[in-house]
């Protein structure tokens, strides 16, 4: 039977990464093995200057992207990606399972439009070597993500959620123990 995949989506800056970090913390407090990647933003004062990538299993953190307009091999509008950090993240994902909860924040334009970045996540999600997975996907890429994982049943959660704690408990139900 396919494992549960929850897709967390919503506009930029709404709290998707924060929700993923809270979910990982809740899973650990319940004694569950949590693995995957979360990508918190880096700020200098109120200005977003980049994005880090955090290995949820080990706590290791690396610079993933800088907010600038400099030329680079891997770019999205406004961000220059570090190819070695993307490769490291792909390696982290390849070793993430088996686990109780797999979190991937986020699968975006690099993976879904350009087939770069953490494309190994699609095979990982089809392999069912986790009890539950939560993947952050931008609203305009939800259909492309569904197609990339083989049209599996997905539970979609849009933020802002009226009660984030209830959302976390819904995603991480007692069946995941």
The pLDDT mean for the chain works out to 89
* pLDDT beyond 70 at 175: no
- Identify the domain containing residue 93 by its residue range: 4-176
Cβ distance 57 to 101 under 8 Å?
no
Q: What percent of the chain has pLDDT over 90?
A: 73
- pLDDT band of residue 177 (cuts 50, 70, 90) is very low
- Where is 62: in which H helix or E strand? strand 61-67
Count of structural domains, the chain: 1
**CATH at 113:** 3.40.50.300
Three-state DSSP class for residue 164: helix
**Which pTM value belongs to this model?**
0.89
3-state helix, strand, coil in the chain (%, to 5): 35, 35, 35
Look at 2-16, 63-77, 160-174 and tell me which has the smallest mean pLDDT: 160-174
Can you give the pLDDT at residue 96? 97
Backbone angles phi, psi at 30, to 5 degrees: -90, 5
Nearest to 143 by CA among 105, 106, 104, 113: 113
Arithmetic mean of pLDDT, 4-22: 91
Note the pLDDT tens digit of each residue in 84-138.
Answer: 999 999 999 999 999 999 999 999 999 999 999 999 999 999 887 999 999 999 9
Q: What is the per-residue DSSP string for 129-173?
A: -EEEEEEEE-GGGHHHHHHHTTS--EEEEESSPS-HHHHHHHHT-
- Where is 142: in which H helix or E strand? helix 142-148
Q: What is the DSSP letter of 73?
A: S
């Amino acid at each position: 039977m396919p494992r549960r995949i929850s897709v967390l989506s919503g506009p930029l800056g709404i709290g998707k990464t924060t929700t993923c970090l809270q979910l990982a913390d809740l899973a650990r407090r319940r004694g569950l093995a949590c693995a995957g990647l979360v990508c918190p933003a880096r700020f200098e004062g109120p200005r977003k200057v980049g994005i880090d990538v955090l290995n949820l299993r080990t706590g290791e953190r690396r610079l993933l992207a800088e907010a600038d307009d400099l030329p680079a091999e891997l770019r999205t509008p406004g961000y220059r990606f570090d190819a070695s950090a993307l490769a490291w993240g792909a390696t982290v994902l390849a070793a993430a399972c088996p686990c109780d909860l797999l979190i991937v924040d986020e699968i975006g334009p690099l993976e879904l439009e350009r087939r770069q970045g953490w494309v190994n996540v699609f095979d990982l999600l089809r392999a069912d070597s986790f009890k539950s997975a939560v993947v952050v996907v931008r609203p305009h890429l939800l259909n492309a993500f569904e197609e990339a994982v083989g049209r599996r049943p997905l539970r979609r959660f849009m933020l802002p959620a009226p009660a984030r704690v209830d959302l976390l408990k819904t995603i991480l139900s007692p069946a995941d123990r």
